[in-house]
Amino acid sequence: MITLRFYSIEDWESFVNMKSELIELKAQLLNLRRMVDERTKEVKQETEKRERIEHEVAKLERLNIIGQLAAGLGHEVRNPITTIRGFLQMLQNKTDLLTYKSYFDLMIEELDRTNSIITGFLSLAKNKPTELKRQCLNKLLANLFPLLLADAYSQGKKCIFEPGDLADLDIDTNEITQLVLNLARNGLEAMPPDGCLTISTFMDGQNIVLSVRDEGPGINSEHISKLGTPFFTTKESGTGLGLPMCYSIAGRHNALIEFESGPDGTTFLVRFSQPMEKTHSEN
Ligand SMILES: Nc1ncnc2c1ncn2[C@@H]1O[C@H](COP(=O)(O)OP(=O)(O)OP(=O)(O)O)[C@@H](O)[C@H]1O
Ligand SMILES: [Mg+2]
C-alpha cells in the first residue's frame, strides 16, 4: 500500500489535478479504443465486400471466356443440328417407319436438349447483345407469374408474388425473364410438396432488389463455392447452366446476385445498382 504525504496545499492541488488528468486520459483512451474497434470492424466489412465483388468479377470473367468459346462453336454446331432435326422430322412421318416413331421422338428430344444447352452456353458471353428497355420490374414479374404459378401447382407447391413500390429500371425483358425462371425453378425444385416460393421486390436505398425465397433444405455448404460454375449440378437431369446464366445476365445488367441459405430455405437476391429515376413508366 502506498502512503502519500502532502507538505503543502499546492502539493495537494497538483495531486488532485494529476488525478483528474489521469481520469480524463483514461476516458480518452477508452474512447480511442472504441474508435479503433469500430474502424477495425468497418475495414473488415469493407475488405469482405471488396473480396466478394472481386470474386464475382473473376467468376464473370471465367463465364465470359467460356461464353466466347461457345459462341464460336455453338453457331457451327447448330446448323448441322437443324439439318438433322429436319430430316428426322421428315422420316418420322413416313408410313413404313411408323414402328420407329418412339425412336424418332427420342432423337428429336435429345437434339432439342443439345440445342438448349448451346443456347444456355451462348448466353454466358459478356458481349451478348442486350436490348435494354426502361420498365417496371413488377410488370415483367406480373406477366410471368401465371407461368410460375402453373409450374408450382403442377408440383403440388405454392407461389406468392409480393411486389414492392419500385422505380423503373433498364432491363432486357427476355434476359430478366430467363433469370427469374431459372431462380424460381431452382427454388421450386429444392422444395418438398406444400412448400411455398415467394417472389418479392423492394427498394434498398438506391438499389432495386428482386428476391426469390424458397422453403427448401438450403444449399449444402460444400456446394456453395461451386455455385455458378458451368455444369455444376446435384440433380440427375440438371445441366448446371441455370445459375451461370443468371450470373451472366446479372453482370450485363450491372446487378449483383447474393444468397442466404439455411435449413429453413434459401433466398437469392438480385441487387440492381443502376441510376434510378423516381418516375414509373406508363407501359
Ligand atoms: N434454391 C436452391 N436450393 C438448394 N440448392 C440450390 C438452389 N439453387 C441452386 N442450388 C444448387 O445449385 C446447383 C446448380 O444450380 P443450377 O441452376 O446452375 O443448375 P441445375 O438446377 O442443377 O440445372 P439446370 O441447368 O437445369 O438449372 C443445383 O444443382 C443445386 O444443387
Ligand atoms: Mg437450375
Say which DSSP state 93 is in. T
Kindly tell me if the per-residue pLDDT of 271 is higher than 90. Answer: yes
245: left (phi over 0), alpha (psi -120 to 50) or beta: alpha
Place 40 in a pLDDT band, splitting at 50, 70 and 90. very high
215 lines ligand 1 (CB under 6 A): no
Give distance in angstroms: CA of 224 to centre of ligand 2.
14
Residue with the smallest CA separation from ligand 1 atom 4 is: 219
Give distance in angstroms: CA of 231 to centre of ligand 1.
10
Cell of 152: 408450382
195 lines ligand 1 (CB under 6 A): no
118 lines ligand 1 (CB under 6 A): no
Give the dihedral sign, CA 173/179/183/186.
Answer: positive
Residue with the smallest CA separation from ligand 1 atom 27 is: 242
Place 6 in a pLDDT band, splitting at 50, 70 and 90. low
246 lines ligand 1 (CB under 6 A): no
Using only C-alpha atoms, what is the Rg of the chain? 29
Kindly tell me if the per-residue pLDDT of 278 is higher than 60. Answer: no
Give distance in angstroms: CA of 150 to centre of ligand 2.
17
Place 227 in a pLDDT band, splitting at 50, 70 and 90. very high
Give distance in angstroms: CA of 234 to centre of ligand 2.
10
Question: Which CATH number applies to 1-128: 1.20.950, 1.10.8, 1.10.287, 3.30.70?
Answer: 1.10.287
- Choice among 120-124, 153-157, 252-256 with the minimum mean pLDDT: 120-124
Report pTM: 0.75
pLDDT of residue 276: 53
Assign domain 133-272 to a CATH class. Answer: alpha beta
Kindly tell me if the per-residue pLDDT of 279 is higher than 80. Answer: no
Residue with the smallest CA separation from ligand 1 atom 31 is: 234
If you average pLDDT over every residue of the chain, what do you get?
Answer: 89
Kindly tell me if the per-residue pLDDT of 282 is higher than 70. Answer: no
d(CA 221, CA 234): 13
Say which DSSP state 229 is in. S
Higher pLDDT, 116 or 217: 217
Which segments of the chain belong to CATH 3.30.565.10? 133-272
Enumerate long-range contacts of 108-112, CB under 8 Å, 24 or more apart.
111/81, 111/84, 111/85, 112/85
Place 4 in a pLDDT band, splitting at 50, 70 and 90. low
123 lines ligand 1 (CB under 6 A): no
pLDDT of residue 149: 94
113 lines ligand 1 (CB under 6 A): no
pLDDT of residue 159: 97
Which segments of the chain belong to CATH 1.10.287? 1-128
Model confidence pLDDT, tens digit, residues 123-158:
777 677 788 999 999 999 999 999 999 999 999 999
d(CA 17, CA 281): 69
Q: Identify the nearest ligand to the CA of 231 by its number.
A: 1
Asked if 112 contacts 146 with a C-beta cutoff of 8 angstroms, the reply is: no
Residue with the smallest CA separation from ligand 1 atom 14 is: 233
